[in-house]
Structure 1
Amino acid sequence: MFLGLILLFTCYNQICYTVGFMGWYNEFRNTKINYFLYNIAIVLGPLIFLYVKSITTSNFKFKKNYWWHFSLAIVFVLYRIIIFTYDALQPGFNETQNGILKISVDEAIVQPIVGFIELPFMLLYLAFTLQLFYNYRKRITQYFSNTYKLELNWILSFLILFTLLFLYNTIQTIVGSFVMDLNYEQRWWLNLLAALVTLYVGIKGYFTDTTKLKKLSFSFSPNLEAIPEQNQQQSKTKSVSSSDLNTVKSLMENDKAYLNPDLNLSDLAKQANMSRAQLSEIINSGFNKNFNDFVNMYRVKAFKNMLAENKHKQLSLLGIAEECGFNSKATFNRVFKKLTSYSPTEYLKTHTK
């Protein structure tokens, strides 16, 4: 729904230039279309934020308090209706394009103010959205062993494109206001870029399956503070018993739970007869790792063992990785580099005969 609204309002925002190039303003000198144009940032910012929130939140539901995000846009629409109604009641309104309030109040006062507000407003929402996305990416490493299909690289591309569009518009506004006057045709390039972004986002968004993300359940918050920063001395906390540590180690070393490419925190917790919160605390505090690094540590170790057994002479490196529980080449290469400082090919050349 939110993606559809983003596309709808982005397309609607192109009306001014579209009808202008069609000769609308020359043909219909008394058109009232200017009353129904709007400053896109005041509605696009909240829509982008809520779209990403709906994708990265399991069982997302639109709450009543979310309407506050659109309070500025709603006020703006009501204000435009009021000035249109007032101007429409004035004599001679049908023979002119803009009425008295549109010229003396809207264009002279309100538009400059809203234009000034747009920049920090959109910047704030983009910052909130990027933070929301970053927190999601960080959080899934606490629940899933293979995160490639859940990383939402499409959303990152989506945010980058709209950020670039916003920056282009900001630069154009600054140049047009303080450096040189930009004519109608010079400002048209922004609309061309917006049209291309809209086409890409519409097509890519439509064909991207996000239904699997609705099944994600983040019903508790892992203790991220239990994981020390790199280069800090690692120590086990007193809250984790040795028996719990041994239970988890046994599942990984003896039962080889890591061979399941879809292994997640819930699955391993069930096997260990623990709650997800309890298992997360054991892994974070007892092993000083997040769930993703913990499981992939065993997969990398298994991969190394298979290379030592010359399995690479029978299988490709990706084939061996899949045998060890990885489910994508991108995840395997990234994880292996992170944990060993070598790429799989480099490791093969330097550590095997």
Structure 2
Amino acid sequence: MIYIDRLIVIFLLGGFAMLTMLVIFNPLKVNRKANVWLGLFLFLWGTFWIDEAAEILGIASIGKPFLFVLNFLQFFTPLTFYYSAVHFTNPGFSFSLKELRHLPLAGLFLALLSLSYFYDKADKDILRAWLTVIMLVQSLFYALYSCEIINRHQRKIQQFSSDTYPISLNWLKYIAYTILASGIIITVYNIIFIAERPGTYLNLAFLIAIYFIAYYSLKQQEVYPVGTQQADTVFSFQEESKTNEGPKIKLLGNEETELIKQRLLGVMQSEAPYLDGDLNLIKLAQLMEVTPHQLSYVINTGFNENFFQFINKYRIEKAKELLADNRNNNLSILGIAFESGFNSKTSFNITFKKFTDLTPSEFRKKSSDL
């Protein structure tokens, strides 16, 4: 069993090292700032296995100053993940004095860590227990805070994107869940087994998590594939608590709203822009010759929907029409998806199920039975 444990640790460290390099150097050149922070997070997360690696390599002990610096840097692991989430959801984010609010807890951690390492009269067991509690609390806090940031992002992108699946950042939220779970599990594990580090099964779970992160982080797309000016327009939209809640500020008069609404219905009927898989609010606003804010306002107030709901309602109707027509039986589900304006089978299945409570295959079978 000990050899299996060592092999898992080697794969873990190798996975962390390779993934850190790939994420930071970012071969796809997408979400660059966010990926730098994600790479720093992965690097710091990987350092928690240095003790086990040193044991495998036969290193008797690691210098106290090195361990002190390393333990202090490890404190910032959840914070680097948080800043990764911040940059993924807002590429225009810039640091301000407001960010200093994260430092007091780091100062407390540094003071207690210094006492535990260099003050001989200190009760080291009590100090290390407090250090563990601080690490756990801040890990849980930043993981939950990051989840809330991603949830707000998922509501916001429905206001301007017709295909949210590739940019929803669900995979990033799963990492936050992993942080939450690992913090709780390791704490409970240490209390029950009085262990200094995770056992084989926990290491194996972390190894699986690493390959999960690798798969999703390396297939990610640019979350906001728009120019700087367009991105500013997107980020200036008011954040709403519900995706279908209308704007709080009255942007247009009733007559002008109704006029644009009727023009929009005409464009959707005559030009079918929803068949463009890359359609977004800005492209449709340009076609309508109105501003993105005006179009968003009309969709929110005139139809009581967000952009995602409005566009995909047309796509789903087109898909239902194609699926119900026996002449299209030669078309695969993917073919139907493309013909309806979807970019992928996954996006099509998820959206179709959301709108109809049926999968496309179930709908086709139900239609053929009628």
**Fold match (TM-score > 0.5):** yes
Tell me how far apart the structure 1 counterparts of residues 112 and 191 of structure 2 sit (CA, whole Å): 26
Contact kept in structure 2, 1:311 and 1:320, CA below 8 Å: no
How much does 1:314 deviate?
3.9
Deviations 1:128-149 (A, max 9, x none): 0011111111211111111222
Instruction: Give yes or no for the alignment of 1:285 onto 2:301.
Output: yes
Pick one of 169, 173, 178 that aligns with 1:161. Answer: 178
Tell me how far apart the structure 2 counterparts of residues 109 and 13 of structure 1 sit (CA, whole Å): 21
What pairs up with 1:135-284 in 2 under 5 angstroms?
Answer: 135-176=152-193, 181-182=194-195, 187-189=198-200, 192-193=203-204, 196=207, 199-200=210-211, 203-204=214-215, 207-211=218-222, 213=224, 215=226, 217=231, 218-222=234-238, 224=240, 227=244, 238=254, 241-284=257-300
Q: For residue 132 of structure 2, what is the aligned residue in structure 1?
A: 115
How much does 1:280 deviate?
1.0
Tell me how far apart the structure 1 counterparts of residues 239 and 54 of structure 2 sit (CA, whole Å): 56
How much does 1:309 deviate?
4.3
Pick one of 136, 149, 156 that aligns with 1:132. Answer: 149
Contact kept in structure 1, 2:299 and 2:305, CA below 8 Å: yes
Contact kept in structure 2, 1:13 and 1:40, CA below 8 Å: no
Pick one of 62, 67, 83 that aligns with 1:50. Answer: 83
2:166 is aligned with what amino acid? K
Q: May I ask how many residue pairs the two structures share in their alignment? A: 322
> Unpaired segments of 5 or more residues in structure 1?
85-97, 230-236
Contact kept in structure 2, 1:3 and 1:51, CA below 8 Å: yes
Deviations 1:228-261 (A, max 9, x none): 69xxxxxxx9587321210111111111111111
Structure 1 residues 172 and 245 mapped into 2: Cα distance closer, same or farther (>3 Å)? same
Higher radius of gyration, 1 or 2:
1
Tell me how far apart the structure 2 counterparts of residues 240 and 331 of structure 1 sit (CA, whole Å): 34
What pairs up with 1:72-87 in 2 under 5 angstroms?
Answer: 72-73=105-106, 76-77=109-110
Q: For residue 341 of structure 2, what is the aligned residue in structure 1?
A: 325
1:196 is aligned with what amino acid? L
Pick one of 291, 302, 308 that aligns with 2:318. Answer: 302
Structure 1 residues 325 and 202 mapped into 2: Cα distance closer, same or farther (>3 Å)? closer
Contact kept in structure 2, 1:45 and 1:126, CA below 8 Å: yes
Structure 1 residues 127-136 or 162-171, which shifts more?
162-171
Name the SS for the 1:14 alignment partner: helix
How much does 1:37 deviate?
4.5
Q: For residue 12 of structure 1, what is the aligned residue in structure 2?
A: 47
1:275 is aligned with what amino acid? T
Structure 1 residues 148-157 or 137-146, which shifts more?
148-157
Name the SS for the 2:122 alignment partner: helix
Structure 1 residues 315 and 30 mapped into 2: Cα distance closer, same or farther (>3 Å)? closer
Name the SS for the 1:51 alignment partner: helix
Deviations 1:57-91 (A, max 9, x none): 133444454354345335644775x669xxxxxxx
1:49 is aligned with what amino acid? Y
Tell me how far apart the structure 1 counterparts of residues 239 and 128 of structure 2 sit (CA, whole Å): 48
Tell me how far apart the structure 1 counterparts of residues 143 and 134 of structure 2 sit (CA, whole Å): 14
Structure 1 residues 310 and 71 mapped into 2: Cα distance closer, same or farther (>3 Å)? same
Structure 1 residues 300 and 203 mapped into 2: Cα distance closer, same or farther (>3 Å)? closer
Tell me how far apart the structure 1 counterparts of residues 225 and 331 of structure 2 sit (CA, whole Å): 36
Structure-2-length-normalised TM-score: 0.74
Structure 1 residues 330-339 or 212-221, which shifts more?
212-221
1:128 is aligned with what amino acid? Y
Structure 1 residues 287 and 222 mapped into 2: Cα distance closer, same or farther (>3 Å)? farther
Name the SS for the 1:134 alignment partner: helix
Deviations 1:305-328 (A, max 9, x none): 334543423422321221121111
Instruction: Give yes or no for the alignment of 1:316 onto 2:349.
Output: no
2:121 is aligned with what amino acid? S
Tell me how far apart the structure 1 counterparts of residues 320 and 198 of structure 2 sit (CA, whole Å): 57
Tell me how far apart the structure 1 counterparts of residues 71 and 201 of structure 2 sit (CA, whole Å): 16
Tell me how far apart the structure 1 counterparts of residues 62 and 244 of structure 2 sit (CA, whole Å): 67
Tell me how far apart the structure 2 counterparts of residues 63 and 194 of structure 1 sit (CA, whole Å): 37
How much does 1:285 deviate?
1.3
Name the % identity: 25
* Structure with more contact order per residue of length (Cα contacts < 8 Å, sep ≥ 6): 1
Tell me how far apart the structure 2 counterparts of residues 190 and 107 of structure 1 sit (CA, whole Å): 29
1:15 is aligned with what amino acid? I
Q: For residue 363 of structure 2, what is the aligned residue in structure 1?
A: 347
CA RMSD of aligned residues (A): 3.4
> Unpaired segments of 5 or more residues in structure 2?
1-35, 247-252
